[in-house]
Amino acid sequence: MNFKKTIFSALATLFLVSPVLAELVFPSLSYRTGPYGPNGIPFADGYEDYFTLLNERDGGLGGEPIRVVKCETAYNTEKGVECYESTKGEGSLVYQPLSTGITYQLIPKSAADSIPILSSGYGRTSGRNGKVFKWVFNFPGTYWDAASIATKHAMDMSGGSLEGKKIALVYHNSAYGKEPIRTLEALSEKHKFELSLLPVDHPGQEQKSQWLQIRRERPDYIFMWGWGVMNSVAIQEAANIRFPMENFIGVWWSGSENDVLPAGEAAHGYKSLAMHAPGDNFPVYDDMRKYVIDKGLGAGDGSNVGTVLYSRGMYAAIMATEAAKTAQKIHGVSKITPTMMRDGLENLEMSEEKMAAIGIAGFSPTFKATCENHGGQGSAAIQQWDAKKGTWSFITEYMNSDASVIEPLILADSSQYAAENNIKERCN
């Protein structure tokens, strides 16, 4: 009888979501399964562990405990929507889906539900224009910044001019991979280089024909917008055709240990963009080990601590919690709502002092969000892989993107969105 009752109550609540509690809720739309799981796991570990660290060390944020609501998206947009709908009722403060496709789905939904989205270094680039996208934030940098900075680095390598050079873009054939094309086209006109586009279909294991074409075309530089297994396959293929690795530059999503380790020694010299420093030589990692990992409270098995994507996830959580602190300060309450959270994101300033206080001095570029600018100053550095030592290291300072190319593109794309959806510009 009792068993039957349990079954009935279980069935009745199958489709229901649990009740709202008085905490700061940060949903983690992670993917630990599916073809992109190997990259999703370290990110999710870093993201969730940082909240655990705050709870363990500081007792939450401003005295309010943090609750992380987890939902598995498998990098699939339909599941992403299901996750969003099932978690938004719990008082979720900000969404960070780590998927450009899911971000595109959530942009109109989150505006209707008044919940901000923070898509750091992914998502819709024109979301940077805060005049149109009130609820979308993508600091510290966008794909278009990345494209511009990669081009800049290529230009530095070839002595200040790219005229007559050939650049090939190997990209994931999805909204994510296609994002930089428009900017690179504009840049190719400006700097007079030849651009060739080589799409790689999901999940990216099959790239033989693309690399055959690269062998035929002999580009001077290859840029890559890849994710998941596509990255390591591409690096392996580049090694197979003996492409000079220092001329192969990936976006910040193609520059983790997972991507270069499978190719072994051959990956030596591969470069990628970086929006934060590699390695775990930061005070925050000491706390992380002391309060979270060594106590066995880590979200994962601990093997990813200190990797690039773990740091990326941690950085995403840092920006979210700093924005929440800013919101608490602005509104003078500790229990903030998503709308207050949005104000916090819009007024977020990551200064050197603030980063030093968190224990990540010099970890990432400084930026300041404003009403108009939701994307930060758009700076990134170039990091290079040393296969012998097995470490990434910075080879440049943080560089700024070419605003003269990107600004008009962002304006055009966002005003098209505003026109299609009858959005009035803010901040005037």
Partner 1 sequence: MLYREVGEFKTSYAQDSHTFPIKFDRYRYYFVIIVGLLFIPFIINDYWANAVFLPFLIYAIAALGLNILTGYCGQVSLGTGGFMAVGAYASYKFMTAFPDLNIFFVIILSGFVTAFVGTLFGLPSLRIKGFYLAVATLAAQFFLIWLFNKVGWFYNYSATGMITAPSRSVGSFFITGSESTPAAKYLFCFLFVFLLAWIARNLTRGKIGRSWMAIRDMDIAAEIIGVNPLIAKLSAFAISSFYVGVAGALFFSVYLGAVEPTEAFSIQKSFIVLFMVIIGGLGSIFGSFAGAAFMVLLPVALKNLLVLQFGWSVDIAAHFEFIIIGGLIIFFLIVEPHGLAQLWNLLKQKLRIWPFPY
How many residues touch partner 1 under the rule CB under 8 A: the total is 53
As given in the structure block, the two tokens for residue 396 are 């440049």
Under the criterion CB under 8 A, does residue 202 sit at the interface with partner 1? yes
Residues 145-174 contacting partner 1, CB under 8 A: 173-174
As given in the structure block, the two tokens for residue 261 are 């380790």
Residues 375-404 contacting partner 1, CB under 8 A: none
Q: Which of 62, 199, 262, 302 binds partner 1 (CB under 8 A)?
A: 199
Instruction: Tell me the C-alpha distance between 89 and 85, whole Å.
Output: 7
Under the criterion CB under 8 A, does residue 201 sit at the interface with partner 1? yes
Instruction: Tell me the C-alpha distance between 365 and 409, whole Å.
Output: 23
* Total Cβ atoms within 10 A of residue 172: 27
- At closest approach, how far in Å is the CB of 413 from partner 1? 6
- At closest approach, how far in Å is the CB of 78 from partner 1? 7
Q: Is 56 exposed, middle or buried (0-12, 13-18, 19+ CB in 10 A)?
A: middle
Print the binding letters for residues 105-144 with partner 1: x by CB under 8 A, - otherwise.
x-xxx-xxx----------xxx------------------
Q: Which of 3, 10, 19, 159 binds partner 1 (CB under 8 A)?
A: 10
Residues 73-112 contacting partner 1, CB under 8 A: 74, 76-78, 81-82, 85-86, 88-89, 100-101, 104-105, 107-109, 111-112
Q: CA torsion angle for 311, 317, 322, 323 (degrees, to 10)?
A: 130
Alpha helix ranges (H) inside 75-207: 77-88, 100-113, 143-157, 175-178, 181-191
Instruction: Tell me the C-alpha distance between 226 and 249, whole Å.
Output: 11
Which residues sit opposite 221 in a β-bridge? 167
- At closest approach, how far in Å is the CB of 84 from partner 1? 8
Under the criterion CB under 8 A, does residue 70 sit at the interface with partner 1? yes
Under the criterion CB under 8 A, does residue 297 sit at the interface with partner 1? no
Q: Is 39 exposed, middle or buried (0-12, 13-18, 19+ CB in 10 A)?
A: buried
As given in the structure block, the two tokens for residue 152 are 């800049």
- At closest approach, how far in Å is the CB of 24 from partner 1? 20
As given in the structure block, the two tokens for residue 283 are 């005070």
Only one of the segments 28-36, 262-270, 309-317, 354-362 lies at the binding site for partner 1 (rule: CB under 8 A); that segment is 28-36
Under the criterion CB under 8 A, does residue 339 sit at the interface with partner 1? no
Print the binding letters for residues 258-277 with partner 1: x by CB under 8 A, - otherwise.
--------------------
Under the criterion CB under 8 A, does residue 3 sit at the interface with partner 1? no
Question: Which lies closer to partner 1 via its Cβ, residue 157 or residue 418?
Answer: 418
Distance of CA 240 to the CA centre of its chain: 29
Question: Which lies closer to partner 1 via its Cβ, residue 201 or residue 220?
Answer: 201
Instruction: Tell me the C-alpha distance between 185 and 409, whole Å.
Output: 11
- At closest approach, how far in Å is the CB of 281 from partner 1? 29
171 close to 225: Cβ distance less than 8 angstroms: yes
* Total Cβ atoms within 10 A of residue 388: 8
DSSP H/E element including 342 = helix 338-346
Instruction: Please report, as ranges, the residues that interact with partner 1 according to CB under 8 A.
Output: 10, 13-18, 30, 32-33, 70-72, 74, 76-78, 81-82, 85-86, 88-89, 100-101, 104-105, 107-109, 111-113, 124-126, 173-176, 178-179, 181-182, 199, 201-202, 409, 413, 417, 420-422
